[in-house]
Structure 1
């Protein structure tokens, strides 16, 4: 059964759409009062939270991001959503980007959903050739002789962005097609998981394979960190893995205001540089944010500053 995300997705859709509609609740028929009893008055409805992000705020974010696109000769997509109120800031929210290694956070989440108890201690082994073929594999390349448990591999995929670790975890949860189905079950029918590492980093022009949108990944991240999808203990475990991301300090974390806590998963290859994160304010609800970028010139390398500055522009709208 596919799980809906009413608050977060509603906020994202509202921000992406130019127009919307609303309606009242269905009417109810009151029972006739007894002759000797005065009918009770209806409870006063709780007012919705007053919006804190104005149209002017959103326009300012859009101008800043458009300026960054010109400065870096890049395409930027950002969606940031307050998971408590549903308020959202979006720019190119429905545009497709290669997701690169940000996928590793969702592979680890599905591992925690699907594999439990002693099965997480299953030891997996591989060859040096496997590590070489996968590309960036700083952890698994050091454990060819002894292997690692599948849980250790999931952690290595998130913390160190180990490519072979991702491939082995994805194999355990049904391959790329299995992860794709799992995301769809959680409401993400946009992301298309087709290849493993390193092939997932090559995006063919016009293809939707191995791509997502900022809106899809922001909503998916809100789901896997909602405390219910994984359960409280596994949510805390995934947050712990994401808090140790070795590559995240120069990305969303660098763009967040002082005192805001960030857990994230980065991704990058060639001109692609991405970060998906949950940002917690000292006195406000958590914000999920997906920043996906790609340089327009095929041979131009990514720049972490573009992600950090894009995140700063979006998060500034919530810093009221």
Structure 2
């Protein structure tokens, strides 16, 4: 599910904490070795001494962000030009929410090919659910596969996603696509909208890890899983996403091109973004940021957490220099 919540003013103390986190990351070397639930950076020229010195500052920096926002943060980012990584809870399960619509669109492209994307699917008024800004206008005419994917990725349209799920044969078929095409044995695809976004801590259905989500997105956008035309189409949808201006896009320097898919859960401020980022004159970065907050079930998300985490990851990778 994708929806928007009003942002809340951050206190001066919170701002100082985020600045402190960024300052720590600014001096972080791009070396280390990745482990589950630890902040690390890795590179080809790592040494044992560098591993020890890099791990503690990175861990402290991301921990500061978690404390500032009273949130759980999972992050995986990689510079595809040199293989350097920065990670934090990268193998821990989080809800992915509407980010999965990017994978759904990829599966539809793979199954139907560019030439088959004009096939029209019909649905009833009773099929229309909340947060369906595009599909609710086309009940009488139906929508093509291309238009449904565009609505699902660029506008996070829930009904469009469900119509695509139904045509594919259900969420399990998406899971099969991920296993067979991407060798993804981690991501679970159990339910359709709005249920896949009704996650609570400890739930394993409709979850994945930041590392796996980033890896899948990298393969789909930068790899050869999809044929060239289909890969370009998915990339175009992601680059023209309308829901990500305050998340990863807000955390990278101006002028960088971002193709992303956001997600929002019903509960515990679950908020996610996965992206491919094209810095000028450099190979792309790929990152996945998955978050939620403790406290009341209706706790609100704060997109600044994702923006600050993205900024910290870019600094740790040295991609802004």
Ranges of 4+ aligned residues in structure 1 off by more than 6 Å: none
Instruction: Answer whether contact 1:264 1:275 (CA < 8 A) is retained.
Output: yes
Instruction: Using the TM superposition, give the Cα deviation of residue 126 of structure 1 relative to its aligned residue in structure 2, in angstroms.
Output: 1.4
Alignment of 1:220 with 2:216, yes or no, is yes
Question: Can you give the 5+ residue segments of structure 1 that lack an aligned partner in the other structure?
Answer: 1-12, 19-47
For residues 223 and 86 of structure 2, the distance between their equivalents in structure 1, rounded to whole angstroms, comes to: 23
For residues 99 and 241 of structure 2, the distance between their equivalents in structure 1, rounded to whole angstroms, comes to: 11
Question: Can you give the 5+ residue segments of structure 2 that lack an aligned partner in the other structure?
Answer: 1-31
Instruction: Using the TM superposition, give the Cα deviation of residue 63 of structure 1 relative to its aligned residue in structure 2, in angstroms.
Output: 2.0
Partner of 1:3: none
Partner of 1:131: 128
Could you say which structure has the larger radius of gyration?
1
Instruction: Answer whether contact 1:194 1:209 (CA < 8 A) is retained.
Output: yes
Partner of 1:310: 309
Partner of 2:276: 278
Partner of 2:153: 158
Question: What is the Cα-based RMSD across aligned positions, in Å?
Answer: 2.1
Per-residue CA deviation, residues 254-277 of structure 1 (Å, 9 max, x unaligned), is 001233211100001231110000
For residues 136 and 175 of structure 1, the distance between their equivalents in structure 2, rounded to whole angstroms, comes to: 20
For residues 228 and 56 of structure 2, the distance between their equivalents in structure 1, rounded to whole angstroms, comes to: 37
Greater shift after overlay, 191-200 or 58-67? Answer: 58-67
For residues 285 and 112 of structure 1, the distance between their equivalents in structure 2, rounded to whole angstroms, comes to: 25
Alignment of 1:182 with 2:168, yes or no, is no
Q: Secondary structure at the match of 1:311?
A: helix
Superposition TM-score, scaled by structure 1 size: 0.81
Superposition TM-score, scaled by structure 2 size: 0.81
Instruction: Using the TM superposition, give the Cα deviation of residue 225 of structure 1 relative to its aligned residue in structure 2, in angstroms.
Output: 1.0
Per-residue CA deviation, residues 45-97 of structure 1 (Å, 9 max, x unaligned), is xxx9656xx64555444322211111111100000012233221100001111
Q: Secondary structure at the match of 2:274?
A: strand
1:105 corresponds to which of 81, 102, 105 = 102
Q: Secondary structure at the match of 2:276?
A: strand
Partner of 1:147: 142
For residues 162 and 58 of structure 2, the distance between their equivalents in structure 1, rounded to whole angstroms, comes to: 37
Q: Secondary structure at the match of 1:262?
A: strand
Instruction: Using the TM superposition, give the Cα deviation of residue 227 of structure 1 relative to its aligned residue in structure 2, in angstroms.
Output: 4.1
Instruction: Answer whether contact 1:61 1:313 (CA < 8 A) is retained.
Output: no
For residues 49 and 63 of structure 1, the distance between their equivalents in structure 2, rounded to whole angstroms, comes to: 23
Instruction: Answer whether contact 2:122 2:139 (CA < 8 A) is retained.
Output: yes
